[in-house]
Chains A and B, each alone.
Chain A
Amino acid sequence: MYNVLIVEDDPMARKLLEIFVATSENYHLVPSLDSAAMAELYCMTNRVDLIMMDVCTAMDVSGIEAAQKIKKNYPHIKIIIITSQPEYSYIAHARQIGVESFWYKEPTAEALLKVMDRTMAGESIYPDSAPVTRLGAALSNDFTERELEVLRELVSGKTDAAIAETLCLSVTRVKQHIQRIREKTQFANRTELAVRARESGLVIGDYKHP
């Protein structure tokens, strides 16, 4: 039987995951955490075989950041990143830091348990891509990676000059990217674009690559 640690800040979602995991006899739940900040300490003091790690957790601590530390110090612990956010870069970052599996939240126990079983059997389960979301007149896969990077910085409330500095681009280039995104989405101005992008979850403004 594997010890499973759930790290999820939303009590309802946590409860749902606990119910899902409890339906299987292969897994034993250890007390869940609402913040990834405490996950490493928990792994240090208790036996944990599998972590179900949410990306955005309490205390504003990133689950991917915490997973990176845990994989470094406790490589034997398997981790499944779970999220409902369509933020496009999560999958790539999770792969990069060596996380075994990635699961977009679904309301069925069977789907989750299947991912857990296959992960514990040594498989790496990743979705092909982030869920396609709509942003104005465009779909999330209509944007280039650079445009999404610019959009993320824009959503953070940065000026063109600040975006240019962060992404090592010229201000003119940043303006061009924003103009192209606006043409694709058909939003009237950059404020509407920033607000709708933030609401869509396509880019999380505060999210930084670990």
Chain B
Amino acid sequence: MITYAALPMSLKTIIATLFFLTMTAGICTSLIVGKKQGKVKLILLPVCTAVMAAMLLLYASVIRAERAPAHIPAVSLWFEQQPVILLLLVWLAIAAFFGMVIIEEINRRKTEITPSSIKESLDQLETGLCYAQPNGLILLTNHRMNELSHAIFGKALQNANLFWQALTTDPPVDGVERIASGEQPEFRLPDGTVRSFRREALDGTIQITAADTTRQHRLVGELQDRHRDLEDMNARIRSYGDKVDEYVIARERLETRVNLHGFLGQALLMTRHYLQYESGDPKRIIDVWQRNIEVLRMEAEPRQETDSLSSLRNAAKAIGMQVHVSGPLPDSLQQQKLIAAMGAETLTNAVRHAGAKQLWIDMEQTETSHIIRYTNDGTVPTGPVTEGGGLSTARKKIEAAGGLLRIDAEPRFMLTIIFEKGVTMDV
């Protein structure tokens, strides 16, 4: 086994220098290892001391070989008699240990959460964040929130309370649009993004967040557009419904007319058969012809289109009642029908409860509304008027059409309908 003492001077110096460098690396490692790694530090210190001692002994051996050995301690003599391979193995073990400690320290620094790592992470966030004390003193804020403060108000974020106050009330700089105020202020920035701010009180800390709600806004906008389209479409369906009713009525009338004309063919066939064979009931043939003549006369005569109120008047007259109508009718056909239907309901009640014979429908037009008053010549009610099934149904219909119904029992029974001009709704 070759001992250290047997080595040439140059190799001795190299090995001693290796120990020196290792010692230096050990001291540096012990300095960079964090406070939390106390156990590692405790091990590092004696190892470094041992390496330093070994280095000194090795250097002493080098010196002794060149100069007189009088002042060299005996331990140095023992050390230089050790096999070189043993020294190298010891050095290798110590170097590996230091290497492991350094790698572990690097890994630990990468993964451990530290104040600076928190700040770095927050700065990467797309959401603006600001934490402050209740008096507004800022504890932590990220880049995004600072950028937003500049973008919206043109100044730096210095006090969380003042910043929140500005968010809820102050006008933003030109190019920025305030969408909402209050507890959830929102702004549209010049690049089109939308930021929604919220404030929350945590344990003794205020948190202000600024979320990017651009997508939600776009979706809400699209939803509103679709809703408007749907409303338009439904309005068109309602409007079409009125036209379709007319179409259905016209179709029904046409079918009726076709059926009536069928009688004409029947009459002709019956007559021909009778004339040809002199068989059949002449009275029946005459009846059929009479029906045909009635129908043909009805078709030939110009059709009298009667409005709802005329229809009411005629029907009342047929049963010995009189309906007096005065004043201008509203233009809305729907309202005209309701006025007539209400007239029929009122007349029925007036005959049943008050023995009335006449009904007055007085219509008045003001700048803003149509007022229709119903009175009758029946006896005045002695007690309060209760709204029965007929009246309550009528009220619902009138209110659904955008009108109001009022019932007065004194000084005489009077029903009043008020239709605001320009207000028509579906019944």
Contact = CB atoms under 8 A, between A and B. Distances in A.
A37 B295 contact: no
Nearest to A31: B318
Chain A interface, DSSP helix/strand/loop, else mixed: helix
A35 B348 CA distance: 13
Interface in B225-246: 227, 230-231, 233-238, 240-241, 244
Contact of A107 (B227, B259, B306): B259
B316 interface: yes
Given A19-B294, A33-B315, A60-B427, A41 B237 contact: no
B90 interface: no
Interface residues of A, number: 43
A130 to B, nearest CB: 16
Nearest to B320: A45
B296 to A, nearest CB: 11
A155 B237 contact: yes
A147 to B, nearest CB: 18
B241 A205 contact: yes
A12 B257 contact: yes
B287 to A, nearest CB: 7
Contacts of A37: 312, 340-341, 344-345
Contacts of A145: none
Nearest to B334: A60
B243 to A, nearest CB: 10
B253 interface: yes
B319 A45 contact: yes
Given A31-B318, A60-B341, A201-B248, A69 B308 contact: no
- B interface bracket (residues with beta carbon within 8 Å of A): 35 or more
Contacts of B247: 199
Given A15-B295, A59-B308, A38 B316 contact: yes
Q: For B233, B262, B312, B319, which residue has the most chain A Cβ atoms within 10 angstroms?
A: B319
A65 interface: yes
Interface in B14-58: none
Contacts of A156: 237-238, 241, 426
Interface in A5-61: 10-13, 15-16, 19, 23, 31, 33-35, 37-38, 40-42, 44-46, 58-61
Interface of A: 10-13, 15-16, 19, 23, 31, 33-35, 37-38, 40-42, 44-46, 58-61, 65, 69, 84-85, 107, 155-159, 190-191, 194-195, 198-199, 201, 205-206
21 contacts: A10-B252, A12-B260, A12-B298, A13-B252, A16-B256, A16-B295, A35-B344, A37-B312, A37-B341, A37-B344, A38-B312, A40-B348, A59-B308, A59-B337, A107-B262, A156-B426, A157-B426, A159-B231, A190-B233, A198-B237, A206-B426
